[in-house]
Structure 1
Amino acid sequence: MANGQVAPAVGAVAGTYRRIEENVERVVQGKQEVVRLALIAMLAEGHVLVEDVPGVGKTLLAKAIARSIACTVRRVQFTPDLLPSDITGTTVYNAETHDWEFKPGAVFANIVLGDEINRAGPKTQSALLEAMEERTVTVDGTTHTLAAPFLVMATQNPIELEGTYPLPEAQRDRFMMKVTIGYPSAEAEVQVLTTHGAGDAAAALAPVASAADVADLIDTIRHLHAAEPLKRYVVEIVRATREHPAVELGCSPRAGLALLRAARAAAAVAGRDYVVPDDVKALARPVLAHRLIMTPDALMAATTPEVVIDDVLGRVPIPSR
């Protein structure tokens, strides 16, 4: 896409985003920022990990986004007995044709809803690594390309530890963002009773965009302008996490790429064809915090990754015009 075509296309990004956002918010009340972050991750070709206590709408958020887009959707209930082949697919012998056939797994969809991902074992969790990073699946030496767009929205419960397996660092790094929903306000909770008291409100949602629409928006966002000083700002933030005294393992270059892609999506959603430092700062927490491994001393002092990110943002100079 030529640079001269980016600016008009940004208006289409903002308009389509607004339709999807309004549709999702019909059933996810009082959580506009959470909906915004999830949609930005989708437009930035990322994946979202939704972590929160039971009953606050984690699965509902994923279902509402899936139903708002006319695309293929697969839901996976992660359990201890789930096999990697259930995720990626397997090759089976067809007695009629006397040949081997590939049977696609649950990951072959535009949107994959992974419910309670930490209930599956590490081997099954790792089956998603190639799909989330490279948009391909390799089975028996053959590589299969996944559909575009491709989004994994996974949920996990942070307080119920029995029968769960913590996500490995490599798996967490594949998620562009980790978001928490939190309890709604009193007014929003009354709206929840009104909206959902009679049944599954998400089932009544009609699509307001197609998979092709979203793919076009993603292509537009890839070409949004990010100035050289802003790219250096992203790199300095990422490097500062590695040098922070409370961090044992900081963010990788993949984290910097994710932060820049998310900032481009945020700029397009705001109707701009260029990225500003505020886009980066606003997304630093959800994009970077879950990737940090804290030192034992920091854990003892109850220093959270979010505190580290805020400290880093306060220390790294903001680029001027």
Structure 2
Amino acid sequence: MFSITLTIAPVFLLLMVGFGLRKSGFIGPEVWAGLDKVVYWVLFPALLFTKTSIAPLGGDIFWPYLTSLEAGIFLSGVFIWLMIPLFKKKYTKESMGSIYQGAIRYNTYIGFAILVAIEGPEAQFLGALATAVMVPFVNVLCVSTLTTLHGDPDTHLFKRIMKELYRNPLLRAIAAGVAWNLTGLGPIPVITDTLESMSSATLAMGLLSVGAGLQLRALRTASLPIILSCIGKFFILPAVTAIGLYLWGITGLPAFTAFLFACLPTAASGYALAKQLGGDVPLIAGLITIHTLVSMALMPFVILLAQYLYM
């Protein structure tokens, strides 16, 4: 346990460095906003394209990943939907939409950083595969749910979903990487080396950005939203994923990676979507912070359990 904690400590220390830099005022808010854009629109897509363009496709793990992870995401969301009638008098539809996002979104930067720390850079293609499986599904569910709960009734749901999927740079990068992979042409001279250099900066910059976005004042968020989203995120989603992996007979590093990604805290992208669709922005900001802090405490145990089950 102690060795695992030491191994992943730099991941969470980078989060704290980002938080400390923002709180100190040493770096202005406009710089952090720019860093968010660079990581989300440039650096992380470069990493995903690089890994998916050379990853072995059509192997034995795509369908197990697809069914296991998406079943976990879906049932975690179903749990929140079942809670809506019970708490509709206490919380608004906007609040329940934010709780829903908290229960099914996941932070890819933290996932990739921990995967590299534990298993090395060669495991990143499995993280890219998990991301390729989860990104479209999570976005479809979140846009559908938020639009249904409190979106503009004049907005056609299908058009809204297609718009959000089309403008998602991660999905574009994955699609482009898979398309290039299928050509069988291999690495692109000069371009691949450039993208590899960009990829190497992604995780550190991404973690600093996530840390800068933490809002400790959000710890005052009501206890019930915290409990509901944590049940979905840290219990239902990993449990269903683990059952799916068991039924498929997946073990080793592929199973370890899928289980790790199923246990990640919710992502900051939920904040932007809540703003776009009129959600409870302070609540999702609080859930992002709380999930990240909970993850810091739980992750050594998650890794120990995953190693015991699969490695």
Using structure 1 for the length normalisation, give the TM-score.
Answer: 0.25
More strand by share: 1
Q: TM-score, normalised by structure 2?
A: 0.26
Q: Specify which structure has the bigger relative contact order, considering alpha-carbon pairs within 8 angstroms and separated by 6 or more residues.
A: 2
Q: Which has the larger radius of gyration?
A: 1
